[in-house]
Amino acid sequence: MNAQIEEEIRTYILENILFIKGKYPYADSTSLLGEGIIDSMNVLELVTFTENQYGIEVEDADITPDHFDSVEKLAQYIRQSLSQAKSSPKKNDGKQGFSPALGEIRP
């Protein structure tokens, strides 16, 4: 999954934000906001893409240019988040009973 994340981000931006076909026209390090490639609404689209594609819950505090201003930065954020998720134990909220969202009974 070395360059796969960058390719998925580029493809998403091409198809869903730039609405063009072909090769991604920018370097992975290009500032998406600084160059006017995306705006604040597009950042929210990238947040939704990140959450849906990688199963990452993006916290409000993480929605910054440090994480979403380039393909390179977003890929780094995704890798870091996936790595943290693997190394963190699953949270148990201590609630028991039926979970309608999960459709199951909790032990």
CB of 38 closer than 8 Å to CB of 32: yes
Q: What is the pLDDT of residue 89?
A: 61
Show the low-confidence residues of the chain (pLDDT under 50).
Answer: 1, 94-99, 102, 105-107
DSSP symbol at 91: P
CB of 16 closer than 8 Å to CB of 22: no
pLDDT tens for 7-24 read 999 999 999 999 999 999
The first and second tokens of residue 87, run together, are 């190394």
Q: What is the pLDDT of residue 91?
A: 53
Q: What is the per-residue burial (b if ≥16 Cβ within 10 Å, else e) of 29-45?
A: eeebeeeebbeeebbee
Q: What is the pLDDT of residue 85?
A: 82
What is the C-alpha to C-alpha distance for residues 97 and 50, in angstroms, rounded to an integer?
31
